Structure 1
Amino acid sequence: MSDYENNGCFCLDELTDGKASLKRLTDDLKAEYPVFLEKRDSASISELHITVKALWNEFSSLLHSVAEYDSGELYRTALKLFDGLKRFDYLGSGNYPALISALYSFADMLPDKAGIDAKAAAHLMNRIKMGYFPTDEEHVRLIKQAINFPKTQVNILDPCCGEGLALKAFAENENAATYGIELDESRGHTAQKNLNNARLGSFFHSSVPFGRFHALLLNPPYLSCPGENGGRRMERAFLSDTLPLLMRGGLLVYIIPYHRADSSVCRTLATYYKNLSVFRFRAGEFKKYKQIVFFGIRAEKHAAERTAEKIERLCLCPEKIPLIDTVPKGLYSLPVKETAVPYFKGSVFDVEELVGQLKASDSLDLLFESADLESRTRKPLLPLNLSQIGLVGASGLMNGLVDSDHPHVIKGKIIREKTRKNMPSDREDVSGFSETESNKIIFNVLTQDRYITIG
């Protein structure tokens, strides 16, 4: 059984569903066109309009999955067909038979779960398993040029920090406290050497306070399979779940492949961030990973449907996105307000982290100091009365050498004692008795010249 059959991957699931939807909508278009030609009334025009709009939306979503699967010839064909769909004269002299034929042909070209060959599936799964695409330090420096850091201390979070190198370079020579979380244990331990605070485990199960971070450096995993977050793609999941962590006015730096800027991602960006801008990575990195970087300032939720659509259209044509080299210096400024991060806990118990915390803490010293206090010799403030002496003896604490003017050894213990008592009887030839058992405290005392039992 192949890796895909075991695990699945998002883009093939999306392509399979999209292929079926595209064929269904093409069937609808094929059936509605003759009705429109015959009647040309408002009802037939309305039906045609609804189908065409659904076709555009479906094709727009398909483009992202096609680019993820194959950004070569198949994607270029998809872009040309999408451009043709938008320019087509649906109510005029458009060549419907040619359009319908082109849509069917393109749908047949799309891969799906049933038809993908083993070689293509293996190639896709290998890309998925790579998963870890850290931002190179050269691009981090270019990104940093766009940002003004205040003199006050800022908190910067990378929720999937890898080895922490990108965040370290981002905060270098700045008054910044760095916070990172990493799922991979080996990379996480390396990050602990590079960052002020690095924790192990899944970000989604970690404990991180809301509204305490001035900047968020977010480069989430790409090409992921359904896993602990079910049907959520990682770039969407990280974007939405990190929203509450940025303070108002905080800066988002969001790095993803251009083809993952789908309607959901663009809508989140446009709704919760302002002063958005997007730049394309340099040719070498872009050729490998297709990365773009978004900048945005955290704002109150606001309606921005048109902005989201504009961003999505731009990202479908990455050659139109400006290069990161052209980003204006000091385009964004981090908030000046200092704030503490009261807690920061990963989802995995980290022994090495605990060791470091204990070394930095005085809790062990206090513990041993308390143990010393408990073990010291203590004398009662007042002489013990008879009952208290009995309790001490019964507990076994009076058990050893008594150093005094007349030294002796004393040991207290409890013994069981039986007492028999005669009971009167009405009959002369019969006598009765009762027997009871009770605890009795005795002390055995050994002096210099004799042995005494008291009790």
Structure 2
Amino acid sequence: MALMFPRLAQNFIRNGYFPTDEVTLGRILPWLEGGQRCRVLDPCCGEGTALAEVQHALRESGTEVESLGIEFDRERAWHAKQLLGQVVHADIHDTVVAPRSIGLLFLNPPYGQAVSDKAQTGDEAKAVRLETLFLRRCLGMLPVGGVLVLIVPHYVLLEDEMASLLARHFDQLRCFRAPEQRFKQVVIFARKRKGDRVTAATLAILEAFGRGERTDELPEACDGEPYRIPETVTLAATQQALKAIRLEPEQLAAEVQRLHKSTLWPQWQVHLGNKVLPPRAPLRDLRPWHLALALAAGQINGIVRSQDGRRWLIKGDTLKVKHTHVERTEDDKGIVTEVKTLTDRFVPCIRGFDLTPGPSFGEQIEIS
């Protein structure tokens, strides 16, 4: 029994948003199989219900799932945050996904033409379809063996680059006509592979579906080997699988609230609220060498009074000086070899300025 199914949002066609319908999603789930743990991503997750269904089905089979989503629309993004592990409200080009960190890429991209470069100032001299742009952008997120579920209109497969990307970077590819044909969609299952060899057989299958010559409908049950999602790559403690370059004010506030315990603010009093205590006198009188070390370390500064009543402004410090030693040797053939050795020397330096009124006022002495 499914946990939930997507509801059609009132603005579902805005920004090319075509949510995965209930019947198609229900037939996709049997084709996916999880291991011990995996990371799944929907880079245009909408309200998050489709990926939430995938997450629920995998967890039912005992898989630990980390679900990530990216959504451009604010309202849909905040709805998705209630269903998925992490969702960022941002354009996909303003997000960073750790390379080869996603086990399953569930991609139902926006449909339509991207804005063309009329001035031809960049690489795109003509408009490129959004479906192709999203697939191209997401390729590096999958490792070798990663699983792709792609839902696009069938005629997009006639685009040269779309078919080439799929044939060049994926194998074990299977294509089906979606049971719900309101948007003329096909569902493609594939696995990322090494190399960039384009297989003619794969191109032929994609072109046949693109022209509408093949109409194999996605079956209700998996009629072959399910696509096993590879184990999630463990990231370093300082690395995130998904992060946004630019945050909206609401999202920033939510992130600060979520990470409140790990920020500096709860520990403000611990780090910045302590009062500076006055220095305490030593338990015993300082020896002369104690005084020299303190001066050289820069711990004794300020105005002091000498035994003869004169006032001095004292500043102590230690300087690092490099000592260079050059040794030259000559062999039987007259070849001279030079060895240069650099040795660090720490030289204490104590400067004093005479502040006593009189003829010696302003004089400087230096002890090093």
Tell me what 2:79 maps to.
190
Q: TM-score, normalised by structure 1?
A: 0.52
The DSSP-based 3-state class of the residue aligned with 1:213 is coil
Tell me what 1:140 maps to.
25
Report the alpha carbon displacement of residue 299 of structure 1 after superposing the two structures with TM.
0.3
In the alignment, the residues of structure 1 paired with residue 86 and residue 172 of structure 2 have an alpha-carbon distance, to the nearest angstrom, of 30
Q: How many residues align?
A: 269
* 1:167 and 1:178 in contact (8 A); partners too: yes
Q: Deviations over 1:402-423 (max 9, x none)?
A: xxxxxxxxxxxxxxx9x999xx
Tell me what 1:367 maps to.
268
Tell me what 1:200 maps to.
89
- State the AA in 2 paired with 1:359: H
Q: Deviations over 1:123-179 (max 9, x none)?
A: xxx9975511111243222101111222x1100011111121111111114221101
- State the AA in 2 paired with 1:185: R
- State the AA in 2 paired with 1:187: R
- State the AA in 1 paired with 2:38: V
* 1:280 and 1:291 in contact (8 A); partners too: yes
In the alignment, the residues of structure 1 paired with residue 44 and residue 67 of structure 2 have an alpha-carbon distance, to the nearest angstrom, of 13
* 1:128 and 1:225 in contact (8 A); partners too: no
Distance 1:381 1:185, change over 3 A: farther
The DSSP-based 3-state class of the residue aligned with 2:187 is strand
In the alignment, the residues of structure 2 paired with residue 211 and residue 154 of structure 1 have an alpha-carbon distance, to the nearest angstrom, of 12
Distance 1:365 1:319, change over 3 A: same
**Structural RMSD (CA):** 3.3
The DSSP-based 3-state class of the residue aligned with 1:345 is strand
Structure 2: runs of 5+ lacking an equivalent: 1-10, 292-299, 305-354, 363-368
Distance 1:352 1:162, change over 3 A: farther
1:348 lines up with 2:246 in the alignment: yes
* Structure number with higher helix proportion: 1
Q: Deviations over 1:310-332 (max 9, x none)?
A: 12431234362211125525633
In the alignment, the residues of structure 2 paired with residue 257 and residue 251 of structure 1 have an alpha-carbon distance, to the nearest angstrom, of 20
Distance 1:313 1:208, change over 3 A: closer
1:339 lines up with 2:233 in the alignment: yes
Distance 1:244 1:320, change over 3 A: same
Q: TM-score, normalised by structure 2?
A: 0.64
In the alignment, the residues of structure 2 paired with residue 348 and residue 165 of structure 1 have an alpha-carbon distance, to the nearest angstrom, of 25
In the alignment, the residues of structure 2 paired with residue 303 and residue 127 of structure 1 have an alpha-carbon distance, to the nearest angstrom, of 38
In the alignment, the residues of structure 1 paired with residue 243 and residue 276 of structure 2 have an alpha-carbon distance, to the nearest angstrom, of 39
* 1:280 and 1:318 in contact (8 A); partners too: no
* 2:156 and 2:210 in contact (8 A); partners too: no
* 2:175 and 2:206 in contact (8 A); partners too: no
- State the AA in 2 paired with 1:215: L
The DSSP-based 3-state class of the residue aligned with 2:144 is strand
Tell me what 1:273 maps to.
170
1:304 lines up with 2:193 in the alignment: no
* 2:47 and 2:79 in contact (8 A); partners too: yes
Tell me what 1:57 maps to.
none
Match of 2:189 among 274, 295, 299: 295
The DSSP-based 3-state class of the residue aligned with 1:297 is strand
* Structure number with higher strand proportion: 2
The DSSP-based 3-state class of the residue aligned with 1:254 is strand
The DSSP-based 3-state class of the residue aligned with 1:354 is helix
Report the alpha carbon displacement of residue 250 of structure 1 after superposing the two structures with TM.
1.0
* 1:155 and 1:214 in contact (8 A); partners too: yes
- State the AA in 2 paired with 1:139: T
Distance 1:227 1:331, change over 3 A: farther
**Higher Cα Rg, which structure:** 1
- State the AA in 2 paired with 1:147: L
- State the AA in 2 paired with 1:307: A
- State the AA in 2 paired with 1:379: P
In the alignment, the residues of structure 2 paired with residue 381 and residue 318 of structure 1 have an alpha-carbon distance, to the nearest angstrom, of 91
Distance 1:389 1:270, change over 3 A: closer
Distance 1:339 1:305, change over 3 A: closer
Distance 1:320 1:371, change over 3 A: same
Distance 1:271 1:141, change over 3 A: same
Identical counterparts, % of pairs: 24
* 2:155 and 2:211 in contact (8 A); partners too: no
Report the alpha carbon displacement of residue 293 of structure 1 after superposing the two structures with TM.
0.7
1:219 lines up with 2:108 in the alignment: yes
1:169 lines up with 2:65 in the alignment: no
* 2:103 and 2:146 in contact (8 A); partners too: yes
